[in-house]
Amino acid sequence: MATNPTPSRDDFAALLEASLGGSESFEGRVVTGTVTGIENDMAVIDVGLKSEGRVPLREFAAPGEKAEIKIGDQVEVYVDRVENAYGEAMLSRDRARREAAWDKLESEFQENARVDGVIFGRVKGGFTVDLGGAVAFLPGSQVDIRPVRDVTPLMGMPQPFQVLKMDRKRGNIVVSRRAVLEETRAEQRSGLIQTLAEGQTVDGVVKNITDYGAFVDLGGIDGLLHVTDMSYKRVGHPSEVLGIGDTVKVQIVRINRETQRISLGMKQLESDPWEGAAAKYSVGQKATGRVTNITDYGAFVELEAGVEGLVHVSEMSWVKKNVHPGKIVSTSQEVDVVVLEVDEDKRRISLGLKQAQQNPWEAFASQYPAGSTVEGEVKNTTEFGLFIGLDGDVDGMVHMSDIAWGVNGEEALELHHKGETVKAVVLDVDVEKERISLGMKQLDSAGGGGAAASSSSSGGGSSSGGGVNKGETVTCTVAAIVDGGIEVTLGDSGATGFIRRGDLSRDRDEQRPERFQVGQKVDAQVIGFDRSKKPNLSIKSLQISEEKEAVKQYGSSDSGASLGDILGEALNKAKDAKK
């Protein structure tokens, strides 16, 4: 009878390896095990190795939930090590779920498919999402299409995500909820936009307001309601008409199905106030309106809701030229205007503000016919005449030839200065050209034969201005000192005269009014008269005349005598004559 040989050590090892199925091959693999016991917070699992392993119960529960596991359940676990220092198998339920999840995610990522997950925590810059065992990062900007202040309602709720990036070696996964929402919205928009048509009236909710309009949600697709389509009347800002959250009825004005852009309108649902505007506002008609806007070129006036007209700057005032409209009217001011032109097709009405007021030139012509005497202030002097401010804020012009008799134009202009109050006669009023012609010399009843005319002759003539004639030498008393010269009184008559700065002395250095004192006696020569027959005097002219006379009577400087000798001799003769 044959006997079996005794098995060797190598045979025993081979038998053991065969019975265990090669335990080393278990490491790094996901295997199925049986729950054999539950001890405190640990589950004891047999995976067919020499010893059992222990796995924390929390690894069998989803984030935020309680584990539901019992003895006898079949579970998948990851074998990290066959035996540790205590002789137990190192198992992990999380790692098993993670490995399975990664395999599934890689497949779905390649197919660009959506994955289900649950937001369960917050981290810097975003949130953590459980994708069936794999933990992914959800950036804050990828939570929703619009910024979300509170994400609490979204946490713990299963929902789809789009995998944007994944790196298995580093264990890095980035997902987006926003991409899913945008794709869903695009699908909804495509379906909804097919049901809409231009001219259709729909209800919407105002979602956002900008400076140029408002975005209205039509139930999954937004449309732009431009500020110009909100109302026929002028709207300064959309917030004046709408508020966020308002439900509005709008009309679809235009649809671009390629770009999926929709233009909306509210005023299109109202009657057009411009229909029949030409018949309602005829040329020449007077109306009352409210100033709504002021620009550099004019002012817009609202005649009724939705109907505005422009008052051009040239039609704002009869007398205020080259003035900004804001200095004539103000916003919200009610004004009377006259319709000048109506273009119903272009929705334009030209208005006139000055036409609603009486023409000041017509009013002046009616109140002051030719031959009337008027009084006003010299507003300006030009090389050809004087401009006089008159009643009604109009100006009249006195041509230099109509200032004084017997005086040439340039000398006549020097007789008057800006700010002086003068009188004149109305010669002519041209309403169409807005011109008023005045004359000052016409007030002189002598008609050229009075003081001014006679004074132009070399021998004097009738007296004027205190009984003096042109060319006469008079002794004056300084009454007042001004920048332009000095005011003087003539003798005991009380008549006044004026010596200009340039006539104070022949020497330019002595032409200073401040070198005279009030009450000082001075000799001067009458050189002319102003319109009121007030004499104009000159010390300079007197000095020149005395020099000429001295040279004539006492010798010529060409004979060798100095001018000082001649004048000295003349003065001595004059003293002797007085004695």
The rounded distance, in Å, linking the Cα atoms of 20 and 48 is 8
pLDDT, tens digit, 9 for 90 and up, residues 525-550: 888 876 567 788 899 888 888 888 77
Q: Is the dihedral of CA 472, 476, 482, 483 positive or negative?
A: positive
Query: Domain coordinates of the chain in residue numbers?
Result: 196-269, 279-356, 360-443, 469-558
- Strand 394-399 relative to strand 435-439: parallel, antiparallel, unpaired? parallel
Q: Architecture of domain 279-356 in CATH?
A: Beta Barrel (2.40)
Please say whether the structural domain 196-269 has been given the CATH code 3.30.70.3040. no
End-to-end CA separation in angstroms for the chain: 199
CATH of region 469-558: 2.40.50.140
pLDDT, tens digit, 9 for 90 and up, residues 188-233: 777 777 778 888 888 889 988 888 899 988 877 888 999 888 887 7
Structure confidence at residue 8 (pLDDT) = 58
Show the tokens assigned to 325. Answer: 């409209």
Answer CATH for 360-443 from 3.30.460.10, 2.30.30.240, 2.40.50.140, 3.40.640.10: 2.40.50.140
Query: Does the pLDDT of residue 142 top 80, yes or no?
Result: yes
What are the backbone dihedrals phi and psi of residue 25, each rounded to the nearest 5 degrees, phi first? -75, -10
Q: Which of 124-133, 359-368, 559-568 has the lowest mean pLDDT?
A: 559-568
Longest CA–CA span in the chain (Å) reads: 199
Rounded to two decimals, the pTM is 0.42
Structure confidence at residue 531 (pLDDT) = 59
Q: Is the dihedral of CA 36, 42, 48, 49 positive or negative?
A: negative
Q: In which region does residue 186 sit, left (phi positive, over 0), alpha (psi from -120 to 50) or beta (all else)?
A: alpha
55 band by pLDDT with thresholds 50, 70 and 90: confident
Q: Where are the alpha helices (DSSP H) in 368-509?
A: 409-413, 451-454
The rounded distance, in Å, linking the Cα atoms of 146 and 141 is 9
The rounded distance, in Å, linking the Cα atoms of 200 and 218 is 12
| Type of residue found at 7 | P
462 band by pLDDT with thresholds 50, 70 and 90: very low
CA-based nearest residue to 425, from 446, 397, 448: 397
Structure confidence at residue 574 (pLDDT) = 54
Structure confidence at residue 332 (pLDDT) = 86
What one-character DSSP code corresponds to residue 368? S
CA angle 223, 229, 235 (to 5 degrees): 120
Query: Does the pLDDT of residue 302 top 80, yes or no?
Result: yes
Q: Which of 220-224, 358-362, 550-554 has the lowest mean pLDDT?
A: 550-554
Q: One fold for both 279-356 and 469-558?
A: yes
pLDDT, tens digit, 9 for 90 and up, residues 227-252: 888 887 778 788 888 888 888 988 88
